[in-house]
Structure 1
Amino acid sequence: MNIQDGCTVRFWTDIWHPKGRLIKAMGEIGTQKLGIVRNAKICDVLVDGDWRFRRCRDPNFQALIANIKELQVQLVGNYSDTALWWKGEDSYDDRFISTTTWDLIRVRRDRVDWSRLIWFSQGVPRFAFITWLALRDRLSTGHRTSQWGSSSKLPLLW
């Protein structure tokens, strides 16, 4: 998150801190111990450059407070907060691009020769999937289930 005015970034549930969501890091009890309601925004907690926390003797929360104060967040009233999307190694962008995200999370493999026979624009996805399973020898056929110890013969009821 790129914090500007702090009016859209939630203190507890948004990922603005290096620890991630503070509600997960500190638990629900954190709202009581620090005196900050669960749906508070950054601008509600950071007023005139000063963080407004309730005094707390818990060492875990004292460490969190010190960590937050080290970040030196400064609010700029004229600009709105923006979400940043990961583009790669230490690079972020304010626009979400699905192809970039897909390339970051997928595992690239070599294209197989038969892929155009299965996956094409007018193909029915259900049939393409079943054909793909057949080519990969992953269908649960009678021969295959017999190898698992299952009987493929059904008893006659008449």
Structure 2
Amino acid sequence: MARYGYNVMSKVADVIENGNWNWPEDWRNVYPVLFQLPSMNLSNTPDQILWQNSEGKIVPFASKDVWNTIRIRDQQKDWSKFVWSAFNIPKHAFLCWLILKRKLWTQDRILQWNRKVHGSMNQMCCLLCYADLETHDHLFFQCSYSEKVWRIVRSKVGMTMVNEKWDDIVEWLIPRAKSRAIRMVASRLIVAAAAYAIWSERNARFFFFLGKGLPR
């Protein structure tokens, strides 16, 4: 571009002369599509950055509109209000989203991936209880270690009757997800924080061979 007098600050008007494109002739073989562009008449109105949205309308450019146009849409999940509550701690909310999507790299998923790559692998066990294979359902909160954590924290927010199964916990939270009552907000925070603590403890043992005892 510099060879022909253009740079990153060049404007469309710099390559238009009397309504016709004035591209360097040397570009004809390299960029033939440029020579097929229709003529353009410029006006003196200020430039605008516009975007064609999903409805085919030309609107002022905004990253929100671009995202809404290109993203894959799906039905809103019934648990979304529980996960993405304005009161939730972002890193805790993100972890809960991964759990609900079954996207954490638990050992059962690692085993499936490893079989495809290497054939087979000795079965691994949960590093929190050293008993069963680590899965999403086992970690949250059916493992003997995480179950004890759940039993400790659930009583603090009136969830004593909710058992340790993740699906049952989520089912209890969903109809209360929009509530701004202190106990309901606290229940969402407690569940997310407990899940985050369990996953952090698991990672400490998995990657660094470290671990903590149960809180008293």
User: What TM-score do the two structures reach when normalised by structure 1?
Assistant: 0.53
Residues 41 and 110 of structure 1: CA distance in aligned 2, closer, same or farther (over 3 Å): closer
The answer to whether 1:107 aligns with 2:72 is yes
Residues 45 and 122 of structure 1: CA distance in aligned 2, closer, same or farther (over 3 Å): same
Out of 76, 81, 85, which is 2:47 matched to? 81
Q: Deviations over 1:45-104 (max 9, x none)?
A: 334446555554x75269456424xx221232x3222222122354312x2244432321
Out of 46, 50, 58, which is 1:92 matched to? 58
Residues 92 and 142 of structure 1: CA distance in aligned 2, closer, same or farther (over 3 Å): same
Question: What is the distance in 2 between the residues matched to 1:37 and 1:63?
Answer: 18
Identify unmatched segments of 5+ residues in structure 1: 1-27
Question: What is the distance in 1 between the residues matched to 2:101 and 2:22?
Answer: 60
The answer to whether 1:38 aligns with 2:7 is yes
Question: What is the distance in 2 between the residues matched to 1:115 and 1:42?
Answer: 45
Question: Number of paired residues?
Answer: 119
- Report the AA paired with residue 137 of structure 1: R
- Report the AA paired with residue 29 of structure 2: N
The answer to whether 1:121 aligns with 2:86 is yes
Whether the aligned pair in 1 keeps the contact of 2:49 and 2:61 (CA below 8 Å) is: no
Whether the aligned pair in 1 keeps the contact of 2:21 and 2:35 (CA below 8 Å) is: no
Question: What is the distance in 2 between the residues matched to 1:38 and 1:130?
Answer: 45
Residues 138 and 79 of structure 1: CA distance in aligned 2, closer, same or farther (over 3 Å): closer
The residue aligned with 1:8 is none
Q: Deviations over 1:9-53 (max 9, x none)?
A: xxxxxxxxxxxxxxxxxxx5xx64xx3423432333334446555
Identify unmatched segments of 5+ residues in structure 2: 115-120, 128-205, 210-216
Higher share of residues assigned helix: 2
User: What TM-score do the two structures reach when normalised by structure 2?
Assistant: 0.42
Whether the aligned pair in 1 keeps the contact of 2:53 and 2:65 (CA below 8 Å) is: yes
Which structure has more relative contact order (CA 8 Å, sep 6+)? It is: 1
Map of 1:123-142 to 2, 5 A cutoff?
123-142=88-107
Measured on the aligned residues, the alpha-carbon RMSD in Å equals 3.5
Question: What is the distance in 1 between the residues matched to 2:103 and 2:16?
Answer: 57
Question: What is the distance in 2 between the residues matched to 1:146 and 1:64?
Answer: 50
Question: What is the distance in 1 between the residues matched to 2:99 and 2:73?
Answer: 22
